[in-house]
Structure 1
Amino acid sequence: MRRRGNDTLLVLLLAMLTTLARGEAPPSAVQTGTPRRVIAADSSTKTLAAVGPDGRVEWRLPCGPIHDLHLLPDGHLLYQDGWTRIVELDERRRPVWEYDATTNGNATRPVEVHAFERLPDGTTMVVESGPARIIEVDRAGVIRRTISLRVDAPSTHSDTRNARKTDTGTYLVAHEQDGVVREYDAAGSIVWEYDVPLFDRPKSKGHGPESFGDQVYSAVRLANGNTLIGTGNGHGVLEVTPGKEIVWRIGQHDLPGITLAWVTQVRRLPNGNTLLVNCHAGPDQPQIVEVTPTKDVAWTFRDFTTFGNSLPVAIVATP
């Protein structure tokens, strides 16, 4: 038995030496299920990076605080480098456009951006916490549209988290501090809202699994008209009908062997599964999880070498 163990160690050592000799970094990511490419960012490691299906880092860039991230149809990447700077990178990761949120009337007032999106007409939607507004700006940074937001508990850092413009032209906004998802029409009127429930559980401070609240992070309108919600420190995912009925839910401990903490971005995949980002859950937990409608875990991603415990955004290639 000792000989066999020594042989195994020797094989592992030789494999490591071969990798180093080739100048390759050892894999940093661990995936379960079908391996895939991931682009993600982490505020604690100040890193934006792409990790291949083999678990190796393809590229990395320094990155400031970040709460949103998009891969555009032309292969460009739209991300933020800090709370007020939005940057578009081309396929070679060269900046080709950027927007400074301290402009357009914000020079003398606090502002943070936690959501943005490239729209089909080429303008960019920017959601401003502090000024409490949505603006759509052109390539020159000129405002083409403004929508005022309702905020009951104003906070420059927490007025909003992610927001998305729907196919019907409305705006779904996750109001973190208020604990409410609000849908606005083009005139700024609220046409639908959903108060994220606490399920009779008391609020608890913190960021990890021990915390609890209704600090909602994201809301996405589904093809069936329902809304998919990442509940932030509510540790879960909700699918809600227009009539505000919960028709599907993932709770903190619903997934075998997985503990959910701050559930940030959520996405319904073409295969019907749901992708969720599990932030602040600790190094023993996956940072990204794919779940089937029956709550089976189809895929997970964990990389606490490239990233850390503050990974709120991710783009995952479908296999």
Structure 2
Amino acid sequence: MTVSNHLQELDGLPAFDFPDAEAEPKAKLPDAGSVAWRVGVDAYDSEEEWEEAFARFLAAVDSTQVRALIVGAWSEAYDTAPDEVTGALVAASDRLPSLRALFVGDITYEECEISWINQAATGPLINAFPQLHSFGVRGGQGLDMAGIKHEGLRSLTVETGGLDAGVVRDIGAADLPALEHLDIWLGVSWYGANTIVADLDPFLTGARLPALKSLALRNSEIQDEIAAALAGAPVVARLETLDLSMGTLGDEGAEALLSGQPLTHLKKLDLHHHYLSEPMEKRLRETLEPAGVVVDLSERESARDDESRYTAVAE
């Protein structure tokens, strides 16, 4: 599976595409604070650079009222890191005082496959917006998340088909005392994933994430190992949502979860896209659903053996 659709909303606001240069003078624009603005250009042979489109955007709307911003494709995202994009955003931070949500790389497979998207350093970008409470990024190639320190960020999402362990460790070292929701797509080794369970220790203990309520460590080829580690992880006791979806989870991982600490306090356990047997699905439902836990076991996949399992998103 690939990422085939653009974001439809961000931070509860419907996504709206800022018009291209030809349409923009004639276009009727919504109120600046009523939508999540998507600014992007053609990924192939664009007639303007992303920074130029962004400059038009700042000139066309009341930027002081913009609450959510989606960075779409930049020119040749498959070959070019968005340093100019992030630089333009940082430079405009004082013009976006109401920005609460930012997503960088809302790019579909038709524009650039997720594992080909070049990324850049996001720490300076996140830190440049102290009022930000939600940040997301798609694409792991060249991604740098070192040095993040943010008092107010409540949601962090990292979507990749293959995430380097160094980035995982940098996220674990980030100073995010208000973070409530963490969502990391770890991906597969073919596209650069090399995380081991030990790299996830900061998330499993939760010591550096005192406000965490929702944890997603998903889209991974080591999903069984992650499940086994979470079975005794201290952070689980204070979670409301646990998400191990989109990966290669099988009966071994599910057995570890059921044999570990109780999960009946959860509001939701998301395991969609999995390799569980029907008897294991039944055990999970009979154990958790009577306690009120919503268990998502949709998209059961089949495989001849462990080696033929696949994650939901890779290339």
TM-score interval for Structure 1 and Structure 2 normalised by the shorter chain: 0.3 to 0.5
Structure 1 length normalisation: TM-score? 0.32
Structure with the higher helix share, 1 or 2: 2
Structure with more relative contact order (C-alpha pairs < 8 Å, separation 6 or more):
1
Structure 2 length normalisation: TM-score? 0.32
Structure with the higher strand share, 1 or 2: 1
